[in-house]
Structure 1
Amino acid sequence: MYDGNTIPFTTVTHLTKQYGARTALTDISFVVGPGEIVGLLGPNGAGKTTLIGCLLGFLLPSSGSVHLFGENAAELSPAGRGRTGFVPQTMTGFGWFKVGELIAYLGKFYATDPGLPPAWLLDWADLDMKARVKSLSGGQKQRLAIVLAMRHGPDLLILDEPVASLDPQARRDFMALLVTFCAQEGRSAIISSHILSDLEKIATRAIFMRHGRLIHDTPMSRFRSSARWITAPRDALPETLACLAEDRATGALLVDGWDDHHATLLTATLGTTPEIRIPDLETAFLEMTR
């Protein structure tokens, strides 16, 4: 979690985005600092892609603001653009380029041409530099998109479902590569993905969204140590428990900040110990975003 002691890479302040009468994002605020890998979680329609568009400056806020490295995201300087990298869910266009030609061509758009991607990145991508982009499979195109986003060593990577089209081996290797990449020089990543088992392994923080709102923002270290899934009568839960999800008719409840004191309170209130389990990220996601 950002500690406030360094210049933040991303600052989102009361961001609202409307399309006519429809509101896609409502009053979203968060800060991302160096060294964080932030998992952006939410069902389809939660507003994740709209948020990413605002982070990249592709979309303008209706109100509020988005800043990268202290600059307005929609007016980034060439230096600021050079500090960011973006991996879309699907790479489109550039079909007639050869892979090597495209890498060289797009390098000319940087303030300082980054040259060839590092060898470790090319080794992972395993692409034929002479192949036409249009001839690549979906997974190969996605690996190319990742190469283009990471080639210049950006301080901030923004990734929208980057591994959905990768095979399990390539996906696992990329996640390990991403952790190593971010550990170097305090780089950060904001990654939207529905593959929660991957995010649970690598994320340092999770941001949950639903219906265009940020509903929870928690360090993964806190989630692992003090999130609990409880089944108990709805009207018997002490008010002292911090509920992160709406109560359900089943009496199921997700609680953050759990400690032994809560167990004592529950037992005293109910006269018996309720079922208490440690949730995984998928369980938390399903409960908080339904």
Structure 2
Amino acid sequence: MTAQPLLPAQVSGLTRRFGSFIALDNVSFSIAPGETVALLGRNGAGKSTLIGCLMGFLMADSGSIKIFGEDVVDLPRSARSRTGFVPQTMSGFGTFRVRQLIDYISAFYENVSDPDPQLMQWADLDPNKYVRALSGGQKQRLAIVLAMQHKPDFLVLDEPVASLDPHARRDFMNLLNDYRRRQNASILISSHILSDLERLCSRLLFVRQGRVVLDTPTEIFHAETRTLTHPDPQRLLEAFPADLQILMSRPDGFLVHGYRDHFALPQETLISVPDFEDAFLEITAPPSGDVPR
């Protein structure tokens, strides 16, 4: 029997509090080899806390995280060397020159060759320049090089393109997709540039107030997410099948996931395909109250 590959990430019942504030509430999901997963949510939804726990920077109050089958609390070097992390902003290391820092970080990994020439060409950094003299965009490109130079199997990116100009951002997203295909790498990426995530990611993980509210393949999201409106929303609601997920209620209807063309809905029901950004805003909005079923 062929052994199944280890999951790059497996999160089970993760809860993290800051005092009385619950930043993550019983979060569970896994990431398979070769998947590119978008972590979607508004500011304060828990995305950065989740990434911090995944990378071992923050300790969970309960639940577990396994990276390539190993507990993140005591992650061995062999598993850690298979991961890469790009923070939202790069800080420190100001007294290093660019090439010195690349060499210094590479020493923490086994059998690291020179960084990918395509990656270095994209970064376009002066190897002799001090890190403290780099612009914000240059520092971000350096952070990406440092995270990817050892060719990780699992790459976590927290707002990686926030400091990049549109040209550099477009080229990086193309480079990232090429890297995933070549390495069969798994990627978890958080970004507020929704168009990038919609094109790149094979799966969407929506987080609202510390909870996962929708976890679905991108293709299924587009095929089964609909806006349903009716002059009598209560009558429309009563016609819904039990497995239809209501993502958000509105005065004239609902945003739903799991829609099928064969559903028997009341006459006068209007069915529309929501714009991705509009759907994001509704799915991640604080709930206005429970929807009666």
The answer as to 2:274 corresponding to 1:272 is no
Q: Judge conservation of contact 1:243–1:253 (CA < 8 Å) in 2.
A: no
- Cα offset, 1:84, TM superposition: 0.2
Match for residue 186 of structure 1 among 177, 184, 207: 184
Q: Deviations over 1:78-120 (max 9, x none)?
A: 111110000000000111111011101111122x151421101
Whichever residue aligns with residue 255 of structure 1, its letter is V
- Cα offset, 1:243, TM superposition: 2.9
More helix by share: 1
In structure 2, distance between residues paired with 1:225 and 1:272:
22
Whichever residue aligns with residue 19 of structure 1, its letter is F
RMSD: 1.5
The answer as to 2:247 corresponding to 1:245 is yes
Whichever residue aligns with residue 277 of structure 1, its letter is S
- Cα offset, 1:6, TM superposition: 3.5
In structure 1, distance between residues paired with 2:135 and 2:18:
35
Q: TM-score, normalised by structure 1?
A: 0.92
- Cα offset, 1:69, TM superposition: 0.2
Partner of 1:226: 224
Correspondence 1:8-23 to 2 at 5 A: 8-23=7-22
Aligned residues: 279
Partner of 2:157: 159
In structure 1, distance between residues paired with 2:255 and 2:181:
31
Deviates more, 1:276-285 or 1:98-107: 276-285
Whichever residue aligns with residue 258 of structure 1, its letter is Y
Q: Judge conservation of contact 1:230–1:254 (CA < 8 Å) in 2.
A: yes
In structure 2, distance between residues paired with 1:95 and 1:254:
48
- Cα offset, 1:246, TM superposition: 3.1
- % same residue: 51
Whichever residue aligns with residue 277 of structure 2, its letter is E
List structure 1 segments (4+ residues) > 3 angstroms apart after TM superposition.
none
Partner of 1:60: 59
Partner of 2:69: 70
Deviates more, 1:230-239 or 1:44-53: 230-239
Whichever residue aligns with residue 34 of structure 1, its letter is P
In structure 2, distance between residues paired with 1:103 and 1:154:
15
Q: Judge conservation of contact 1:46–1:210 (CA < 8 Å) in 2.
A: yes
Q: Deviations over 1:269-290 (max 9, x none)?
A: 2x3241x222232122111111
Partner of 1:27: 26
In structure 2, distance between residues paired with 1:64 and 1:278:
37
In structure 2, distance between residues paired with 1:5 and 1:108:
31
Match for residue 140 of structure 1 among 129, 134, 138: 138
- Cα offset, 1:74, TM superposition: 2.1
Partner of 1:7: 6
Cα gap change, 1:94 to 1:113, in 2 (>3 Å): farther
In structure 1, distance between residues paired with 2:120 and 2:60:
37
In structure 2, distance between residues paired with 1:87 and 1:73:
18
Q: Judge conservation of contact 1:16–1:26 (CA < 8 Å) in 2.
A: yes
Whichever residue aligns with residue 234 of structure 2, its letter is D
Whichever residue aligns with residue 96 of structure 2, its letter is F
Cα gap change, 1:159 to 1:125, in 2 (>3 Å): same
Whichever residue aligns with residue 205 of structure 1, its letter is R
Partner of 1:282: 277
Partner of 1:200: 198
Q: Judge conservation of contact 2:245–2:258 (CA < 8 Å) in 1.
A: no
